[in-house]
């Protein structure tokens, strides 16, 4: 038993953790964290930029990499860290699934830099950025829109007839009748928004309208 414990403790006696190792690790974390910061800022598809979340994903790798580095040196620290992390609960909800990607990216950077596998971290980050750029700019023909219009008279039949004629998939989300006229909110998908706008402009009974492009829950 004593031999087993001696071998176990000797595994965690990492004498290579010097000041130079720590500074090198933090510099690499800084480089990759800033890289992820700008990727989220300019590549993220969110309509409203969340600066606080971006700061979080940039700072998180520093703590994770330091923890990973410490775990290599002492088994007491390892067991204590595992016990501490087991009781931590985060209550903040992540609304956008893509944000989970950036959180996982931050954890990845911290673990990789803590293990001093810098080449793996840099190459993986570059490949992930390329894939994000490709998928972000990839379109599949028709885009989703929301049409909000006001008319003095009922134009629902006219709109339905036009959508059916053009084979435009649509759905009336709301119909409101006021003393000033009718208000409609219609969801539809179509490839040429200028054609829709031109057709609506020709209808004299439509006093005003707005066409809003949206992506999932984000209004563009």
Point out the domain boundary residue: 106, 136, 166: 136
CATH code for position 185: 3.30.70.260
Task: Please compute, for residue 149, the number of CA atoms within 13 A of its CA located in the half-sphere on the CB side.
Answer: 25
Cα–Cα dist 95/32, whole Å: 25
Point out the domain boundary residue: 136, 157, 181: 136
**pTM metric for this prediction:** 0.62
Mark whether 51 and 71 lie in a shared domain. Answer: yes
Per residue in 33-58, pLDDT (tens digit) is 999 998 888 876 555 677 888 888 88
| The CA-based dihedral angle spanning residues 7, 10, 11, 13, taken in that order and rounded to the nearest 10 degrees | 170
pLDDT at 218 over 90: no
Task: Look up the domain containing 199 and give its range.
Answer: 143-219
Mark whether 83 and 187 lie in a shared domain. Answer: no
Mark whether 156 and 130 lie in a shared domain. Answer: no
Mark whether 118 and 153 lie in a shared domain. Answer: no
Mark whether 111 and 60 lie in a shared domain. Answer: yes
Mark whether 57 and 132 lie in a shared domain. Answer: yes
Phi/psi-derived region of residue 116, left when phi > 0, alpha when psi is between -120 and 50, beta in every other case: left
- Tell me, what's the pLDDT at 31? 93
Q: Are 148 and 169 in contact, with CB atoms under 8 Å apart?
A: no
Mark whether 26 and 115 lie in a shared domain. Answer: yes
Mark whether 121 and 153 lie in a shared domain. Answer: no
Mark whether 113 and 147 lie in a shared domain. Answer: no
């Amino acid at each position: 038993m004593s031999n087993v414990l001696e071998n176990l403790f000797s595994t965690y006696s990492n004498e290579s953790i010097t000041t130079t190792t720590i500074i090198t690790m933090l510099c690499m974390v800084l480089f990759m964290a800033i890289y992820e910061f700008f990727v989220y800022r300019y590549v993220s598809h969110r309509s409203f930029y969340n600066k606080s979340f971006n700061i979080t994903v940039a700072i998180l790798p520093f703590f994770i990499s330091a923890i990973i580095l410490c775990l290599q040196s002492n088994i007491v620290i390892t067991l204590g860290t595992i016990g501490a992390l087991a009781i931590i609960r985060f209550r903040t909800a992540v609304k956008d699934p893509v944000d989970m990607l950036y959180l996982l990216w931050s954890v990845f950077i911290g673990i990789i830099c803590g293990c001093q596998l810098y080449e793996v971290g840099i190459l993986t980050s570059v490949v992930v950025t390329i894939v994000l750029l490709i998928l972000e700019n990839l379109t599949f023909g028709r885009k989703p829109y929301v049409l909000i219009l006001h008319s003095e008279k009922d134009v629902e039949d006219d709109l339905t007839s036009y959508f059916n004629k053009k084979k435009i998939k649509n759905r009336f989300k709301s119909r409101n009748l006021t003393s000033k006229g009718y208000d409609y909110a219609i969801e539809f998908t179509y490839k040429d928004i200028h054609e829709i706008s031109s057709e609506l402009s020709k209808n004299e009974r439509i006093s005003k309208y707005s066409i809003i492009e949206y992506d999932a829950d984000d209004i563009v």
